[in-house]
Structure 1
């Protein structure tokens, strides 16, 4: 005998639903083997449900994993006196709908790239970048030693404040102050350089 889910489609066979209910009840009592068996048995069923909503096989697998994670997270909410399959299908439908909504929102924000969006590397562009890097390095070299050291550690080598404090022997507060002053001084140098 086969039951029907809320959409009127075929649900899990009743005998299998009873087995799943028993396995879930044992799993709620801490039986790991029963839980493992339950997850193995419901996975192909979830895969067939997901395939109805998703075309891409990777989306199907991701949707199945979402459902399995949700089942795991809320397994204690299952009432063993009730059928398991409708509980599972309700969770699956919610997860599938959530996934489809996320995909829809993502597609709305995506821009299809055309040939006009292509960029090609030009040697002149790289020359400007090298020149700018050399100018910035010379500006950093003109900073007072503590500020120069703070900028090199925190901004150029991208160390955390704690890492930079250990390497430099300076306190976190001193590093913050010196980095702030260095950035302020560099900004002024850049403004002065671009002024006519």
Structure 2
């Protein structure tokens, strides 16, 4: 049986409060969720799926102190999983088609728990185009700084600065500072 968002959050908070049994239960409950998450995205790569599940569980364990108890747990956990998957693709130099981006960015049935799924295009439309393109090239499509600079006819430092400023502006917008 799959744990609900409330159950996952209750286990996470229990673990943060020192309940080792709740923390162990959380990690066990996440295994099938993460396995399905990665299996849908990594076809015919069972060994890689298990490796990514383990990496994600370790990251959730080591970064549990960054979890905000006032927010839903599943979107936070799947954000960690997405980062691990992106790291995996970068290590193996696999690039994803933009056509499948929505499937990767939307968490496994938990988008309702976070209020609504994040619309990347809408969010990027709120910052200057140069910054949005640099973020899309490097963070969404997985291009290196060199590749993004060549694509846009920009210097590498200009791409880095655009990504930095764009991410800073997006973070401020998400915090409600803008």
TM normalised by structure 1 equals 0.45
- Structure showing greater Rg: 1
